Amino acid sequence: VKLPSTARTHRRARKISSASSTKSDHVIPEETRRLVDPATENIYEKKRLLGKGGFARVYEVVQINQPECQRLQPRSCAAKIIDKSRLVRPQQREKVEQEVELMQTVRGHRNIVSYYSSFEDESAICILLELCNKKSLAQYLRRKQYLVEQEVCNITRQIVEGLSHLHGKGIIHRDLKLGNILLTDDMTVKIGDFGLAAKMDAGKKKTICGTPNFIAPEVLQRQGHGPEADIWALGCLLYTLLVGKPPFETACLRDTYRCILKNNYRIPTTVSPEAADLVKSMLRQKPKSRPTLDEIKSHAFFTKHSSYLDTIEIAPSANEPGS
Ligand code: ADP
């Protein structure tokens, strides 16, 4: 994927942004308040900062210059902006191009953040994505403090669906964590941030990547890792949603790595036997012993909660006669 190069855009963006002013000026300087896609000439106005990552800032943006009938994407979307000054090495730019390419490959699934388009100006690369208004699962868990098991089940099931789609397309995510799982207004769960994702056919990966707490033992040992490393991270994610903190959390990184390599973690007794069993299977040391996504989908943790949901749907409500 080649992102269109555009000095022209930059000039245009400057000209347009000086044309008017709104009350959001005190948050985002006028100079940087608007973005222009040179290919489509679409103009986007930044509304609010949604989050910051290792390389990018993500803003809610609204397209302001095209009639509804001509629009190929929703008017409001998320703009992931990567400052070029942060891409010092050529490989870093290649990674961004690869992120865009992989997002194009996997788009169209309900549980994956949709990719719309990308463009660049002199100072930044901009990737336009589906807006997930409720931000990330990390922020959601922080707000709610703890989740009931049924909600954990509902969230995990959707992550598993998204991950099945990714793996089916031959892509490993390699950075599954709460901050990369996004939520829409109607609580649809979406896998985002493909910055570390890779194609499986490119051979077994040996580079260390991923968030320290969710890093799989085979990744740490540089044994070469495949899609099973995503299953491990999913196990860590499920544990965190159930318990409120990651399974291998310690005061220092070295101890965390030691715990990962020794498979040293404890599941509190408050966690149901079905959920505990699923976590344990996903956190098996040997990658090949971990369950496949199909096996995970039919695990008792999910069947238990889906039958419970069926029951409450057909049961009479508490104030109806005979209940
Ligand atoms: P990086 O690749 O630099 O790590 P991310 O893609 O993880 O950046 O984005 C950083 C943060 O921005 C996320 O943790 C989340 O809070 C927010 N964010 C990212 N994408 C979206 C989106 N599509 N909708 C809403 N918020 C988003």
The verdict on pTM exceeding 0.90 is no
Protein residues with CB under 6 Å of any ligand 1 atom: 50-56, 58, 78, 80, 113, 129-132, 135-136, 179-180, 182, 192-193, 195
pLDDT tens, residue by residue, 44-96:
999 999 988 888 999 999 998 876 666 677 789 999 999 998 888 888 899 89
Of 86 and 14, the one with more pLDDT: 86
> Residue 43's beta-bridge partner residues?
36
The pLDDT, as a whole number, for residue 21 is 38
Q: How far is CA 228 from CA 261, 270, 309, in A?
A: 16, 27, 30
The pLDDT, as a whole number, for residue 216 is 95
Ligand 1 center from residue 318 Cα (angstroms): 42
What mean pLDDT do residues 270-289 have? 97
The pLDDT, as a whole number, for residue 202 is 64
Lowest mean pLDDT among 141-155, 233-247, 270-284: 141-155
Q: What is the dihedral of CA 13, 19, 24, 28, to 10 degrees?
A: 40
Residues placed in the known binding site for ATP: 80
Assess contact for 36 and 9: CB atoms under 8 A: yes
Which residues are annotated as catalytic?
A: 175
Q: How crowded is the C-beta side of 268, counted as CA atoms within 13 Å? A: 11
| ipTM at complex level | 0.97
